[in-house]
A and B are shown apart, each in its own frame.
Chain A
């Protein structure tokens, strides 16, 4: 492995645009091993785009990205990704176990079916997110919260070094949101975690550091996010609500 001192993710002056106007503009960001980084910012502020750049799903128009010292595309298999919306049809004939098994692709031999080790890993990942009982259920019967756990299990099943989550708790109730973030904090001992959220107050109780993205990196600091930064990002009409955890 690369030396522990080396940053896990490095972005240097990264810019990207879909149609000409940049959605990500000259962002510099370094994420160290074992960090739990929250990425916040307004809608359409470039948060998801930034994740897709790090995942190698998009290529930056300028600047340089390194993940584990490699090109993002080459580091993909070391990343577990939980998308904001499931990128599959909900009525697909597949059960939870099979869907999570697909997260094991990229490990093991090229041909043939899944192996015992894969099934054991799936069981472990499902029990990690407290979804063991769902294994045999068809995907189409899951509730939003159950589906979110399954997506998290699918990301964890390959035991990735980096975990990237895009609004993992946008469609689920609050109790489950606490559960999932508590789980993430537990995982942080072994992994580097990036999580996008629009709920700055909530995640600040869990993450080590927050990066605020609104096309550019607005702030990038260890703890306090004050009213000035909030209004810089969202405009002036935002009320701060104190959170204690």
Chain B
């Protein structure tokens, strides 16, 4: 481990990777808390996978892949959100369909794009060691934007994720804030996929917030704890992966996943212990 800390002072790319992990943790901590309490992890997964279709199409037609990804994610978010608000029933089937179709479209476009040879693995797992400094600024701006949006409308977002019917009766425009929430999740997913890859985004979006949910009693506390845990997992994963030369993304995911399983068991035992008559 001390090898890692020694390298940290010498290698600029490691410091950039560290910063990327922490900045990703902030966005994922905020939006992930909403995803976990609203139980829309599967929906976030569907949005994330539809992104591949948008990226593939953009590459094929010669647009910026980021623009393609953003368009695909927002379309997917609005589609899923509107179906959920208006029909209620077919939501999970639709998410599954978008998930599969998005990936299929993306793979076909990538196969047919001349001269484009990026392998799928880097899209899935990203490479946090190759993050350009410019992307750090994009991520920092995203974090500031998310903090501002959620900070200004915290009451409305809380009301909508807690109790939609009651929020509606109190005059909160529920469809607007629900769709806004999904779009914020979509934007978060897209920007972070560029940096850390799809699977790490889903892991960071759900696992730290879920662990926090085992212990905290408020949504804002959940966001803070999830952000800190995300920072611990990305930094820890980077450190662990350095000496044995493991891919850092999957190492971070396994660290977060292991912590989640351990916490689920521990919190269960804790609850049982507390419930015991004294």
Interface residues of A (CB under 8 A from B): 55, 57, 76-77, 79, 81, 83, 86-89, 92-95, 98-99, 101-103, 105-106, 111-114, 138, 154, 158
Cα-based distance from A30 to B269 in the complex (angstroms): 55
Give the residues in chain A near B218, CB-CB below 8 Å: 93-95, 98
Q: How far is the CB of B184 from chain A (nearest CB, A)?
A: 16
Report the stretch among B12-20, B43-51, B135-143, B153-161 that lies at the interface. B153-161
Contact A76 B155 (CB under 8 A): no
Kindly state the separation between the CA atoms of A211 and B221 in the bound complex, as whole angstroms.
47
Question: Would A93 and B155 be within 8 Å (CB), given that A87-B166, A105-B172, A106-B170 are in contact?
Answer: no
- Sorted nearest first, the 10 A-B pairs with minimum C-beta distance are A105-B170, A106-B171, A88-B163, A106-B170, A138-B217, A87-B165, A111-B152, A102-B159, A77-B171, A76-B169
Q: How far apart sit A88 and B39, CA to CA, in the bound complex (Å)?
A: 12
Interface of B is mostly: helix
Contacts A93-B218, A95-B217; is A55 near B162 (CB within 8 Å)? Answer: no
Q: Which of B155, B164, B222 contacts A105 (CB 8 A)?
A: B155
Q: Tell me, in angstroms, the Cα distance from A43 to B51 when the chains sit together.
A: 48
Contact between chains at B169 and A57 (CB < 8 Å): yes
Q: Which B residue sits closest to A81, measured CB to CB?
A: B169
Query: B100 at interface (Cβ–Cβ under 8 A)?
Result: no
Closest chain A CB from B213 CB (angstroms): 6
Count, A-B residue pairs, CB within 8 A: 76
Is B85 an interface residue when CB atoms closer than 8 A count as contact?
no
**Which one, B37, B167, B170, B172, contacts A93 given CB within 8 A?**
B37
If over half of A's interface residues share one DSSP class (helix, strand or loop), that class is named, otherwise mixed; here it is loop
Residues of chain B with a CB closer than 8 A to A105's CB: 155-156, 159, 167, 170-172
Docked Cα-Cα span, A81 to B163, in Å, equals 13
B92 at the interface (CB under 8 A from A): no
The answer to whether B164 touches A57 (Cβ under 8 A) is: no
A83/B162 in contact, CB under 8 A: no
CB pair B162–A106 under 8 Å, yes or no, is: no
Contacts of A55 in B (CB 8 A): 169
How does the 8 Å CB contact mask read for B170-181 relative to A, with 1 for contact and 0 for none? 111000000000
Q: Are B168 and A57 in contact (CB under 8 A)?
A: yes
Instruction: Say whether B171 contacts A76, CB under 8 Å.
Output: yes
* B216 CB–A CB distance under 8 Å: yes
Would you list 23 pairs from A and B whose C-beta atoms are within 8 A, ordered by A residue? A55-B169, A57-B165, A76-B170, A77-B170, A81-B166, A88-B166, A89-B39, A93-B213, A93-B217, A93-B219, A93-B222, A94-B217, A94-B219, A95-B217, A98-B218, A102-B158, A102-B170, A105-B156, A105-B159, A105-B170, A112-B155, A113-B154, A154-B166
